[in-house]
Structures are given as structure tokens and as C-alpha cells.
Structure 1
């Protein structure tokens, strides 16, 4: 029995291939990791799908900066999700806030329904809300969300571990809370001992990919 899933965050095809070779159980595919990850190109998604044997989760984020999107940007997000559906990746990863710095539950629900049958991951936009735990409670009412990527409202999983623990308790065996935020092969075991999560996310979760 594998005790937890190691999800490697990768920014190009070479890193994706290396992550799989180094023992990643799945990847989150992005581009522009220096901007905290944006939507990868269709070509990259397609090639990664052809060359990898592990599940691929695709970041859907049309630009850097905040998570308040215009109607045009939401159209772009939908087009990216549509492409991901056609390639048969495992999941799409997105997050939307409203002007009050809360998750935009209505828009997230619409996009979740639109993304079916793909799995849906709500990303670290939740960490920018005023109360991540309260926002998680609202999120759990949406049918179809499979995972929430979070560092417990802090800069790193280590700093946010107490809130992460509460989030994990709130979800139980339902929605998968995926701790993230400077998790590497060096601190993973120690964090797992405290959190006991089913999956963890990081750029160096299976070591250096460069």
C-alpha cells in the first residue's frame, strides 16, 4: 500500500518526464512557474499526455496576478478546459475569487459542471481568502470537486500546517486536501507524520527536476 501520492508541479515537458522517472505519482502541468504557474500550451498538454504514463492535472490560469477574472478571461478558461477534455487528462486546476476576497462559489460551480467528466482541483486561490476554512466549507457544497490545493492560508505548508490539519479533518475521506507550499523530498516525511494527508504537491517533491 502506497501511503500517499506525490504530485510534482512541473513547468515543461522535460521536468514532467524527469518527475515520472524520479517517482512522481502524478503531475500538475503548468508553464511560467516563476509566476506561480499559468495554463500550459495545447501542444505541451498534448505531448505530455502522449509521453507520460502517470495522471496529468492541468493548471488553468490565463494570466498572473489576482484571481478575479473578466468575462473574456472566463471564456479563455472555458476554452482551455474544453481542450483538456478532448485530450483526456485527469483533472483541471483553477480558482476564482470575487471582489470581497472570497471564493466565487457560483463561478466555480459553473466551471466544475462544465469540466465534467474531468476531475476538478481548486487551487491556492483559497489561501488568499479572508478565512480559508470557511471558504472550504462553502466549496464542499459543490458537487464534482475532487481536490483542493492549499498551504493552509500561509506562505508554506509548514507555516500553515495547523490550518491544513483542520481542513483535512473537515473533509475526512471526501474531497482530497492536497497540502502544498515548499514541500520537498526533504520535509515530506515529517509533514506527513503531522498531517496524514492522502497527497502532497511540490516542485521538488521527488527531488530536483533540472
Structure 2
């Protein structure tokens, strides 16, 4: 654990919330989320949502929306047909205007698939891009991050530093956060976050972005506005305006 008693001196901490419906997105926005990750099939780790859901969500909320581009949950290794599907989905989302995308791709050796990545990034153009937790499946996170640093269009990496829960990875995330200061990529911590754990976790990891799923969802799976508000309040207490 690092810097447990050092106040965070930053303009604020970004709160991203997983949404699977328009009502989820509205609840996340009303609760104070900065950004939504829009997915389907959360039980499978999140897959590409329908174009209808994307359109309606963009119409309903004014905060940032990141759309999952993931054609299946079998692995993060994609065939030519898979990539063609992902390219078509990226084109559809790009035509809608302001949404960003969430994606990731690996080789059979679990390294960053740079051939596939370049193809997808070329299609995405100027879109806001998150590399998702495929990153956590790589054998060397530092090397994987250095690979991603070569692509300035990638704005953030969603990661639990290879652990089932970020709460067991604060030290590793702190190291990745230090690496990120040499790039334009932000480290976004996700998986296993709870609202009571935020103060100690943020002081230890020093990340500037957090990603909530089940931690702000009702038992039925819907986003709970009150829990999002609680998370927002906890985050807002964690920094000293500078």
C-alpha cells in the first residue's frame, strides 16, 4: 500500500458505471457518474449492445458513453470474421457521433494483437477509446502497457492489474499509474470495487478513474441511483482542490 495519508491533489476522479439499458444510463447520470460503459450480456463480461440501445442511450443522456465492441465471450483472440464484425460495429457507432468505444484483442500467446489493434484503431479514427480487461490476461502487464503506449488514440486502460479484484491490486495499479504518467493513457480501476473501500484504495493506487458494475447495481442487476450518488460523494471527498 502506498501514500495512505497523502491527500489526492487532482481536479476530480472520473466515475464510470456499467449500463445495460436506457434506465441504467439515466440512473447513472442522475447519480453523478461521468461516463457510462454500455454493454449487453454482462453475465458474459459484456458484449456489443444493439444499435437501437446505443441510439436511445445517446438521446437520453448527456454524459459520455463508451460502447463495448466485443462480438463473443469465448476469448479475446479474434478471427478474421470476428474482426469484420467488430469493424462493422465500430462504423455503426462512429456514425452516431459522440460515443466512444471499448475494445481489446490478444494473440494466441496472450500478447496484445497489434495487427488487429491497428485495424480497429484505423476504423475508429478520432473516437474516444478504452482498452478493456483483455489487458489483464496478458502475462506481463508492464510490457503490455508499454505496447499500448505506442497508440496515442487509446485514452485509457480498464484493469484490475490481473487480479480478480482491484482491492488486491493497489500496489500493481500504483506501478501502472506511475507508468501512465509517461503517456496519454489513464489507468481506470475496475472489478470488485465497493463504496466503503474507495478511500483506502484510491490513496494506495493513486488512480484517477474508477469503474463500477455490481458495486452500484441493485440485486436485480439494475443501476441504483442512490448507490451511484454514494460513490460520487465518496470520490468527491477524496481530493483537495489545488
Output one character per residue of 1:134-175: Cα deviation in whole Å (capped at 9) or x when no partner: 111111112311111110011111122221111110011621
User: 1:12 aligns to what?
Assistant: 21
Match of residue 54, structure 1, among 48, 54, 63: 63
Of residues 74-83 and 159-168 in structure 1, the stretch that sits farther from structure 2 once superposed is 159-168
- 2:211 aligned residue: 201
Q: State the alpha-carbon separation in 2 of the partners of residues 66 and 206 from structure 1.
A: 27
Q: After the TM superposition, list the runs of 4 or more consecutive aligned residues in structure 1 that deviate by more than 3 angstroms.
A: 204-208
Q: Which structure would you say has the larger Rg?
A: 2
CA distance in 2, matches of 1:205, 1:109: 34
Structure 2 length-normalised TM = 0.82
Structure 1 portions without partners, runs of 5+: none
State the distance in 2 between where 1:169 and 1:32 align.
Answer: 33
User: Unaligned 5+ residue runs, structure 2?
Assistant: 1-9, 225-242
Q: 1:143 to 1:111 in 2, by over 3 A?
A: same
- Correspondence for 2:31 among 22, 27, 30: 22
Q: Structure 2 CA distance, aligned partners of 1:199 and 1:68?
A: 27
Q: Indicate how the Cα distance of structure 1 residues 25 and 49 shifts in structure 2: closer, same or farther if over 3 A, else same.
A: same
- Residue 68 of structure 1: which of 58, 73, 77 is its match? 77
Alpha-carbon offset, residue 207 of structure 1: 6.0
Report the count of equivalent residues: 210
1:45-72: CA deviation from partner (whole Å, max 9, x where unpaired): 0000000010000110011121111111
Matched, 1:114 2:123: yes
Structure 1 residues 88-97 or 54-63, which shifts more? 88-97
Q: State the superposition RMSD in angstroms.
A: 1.6
Query: Taking CA–CA contacts closer than 8 Å with sequence separation of 6 or more, which of the two structures ends up with the larger relative contact order?
Result: 2
SS in 2 for 1:67: coil
**Counterpart of 1:86?**
95
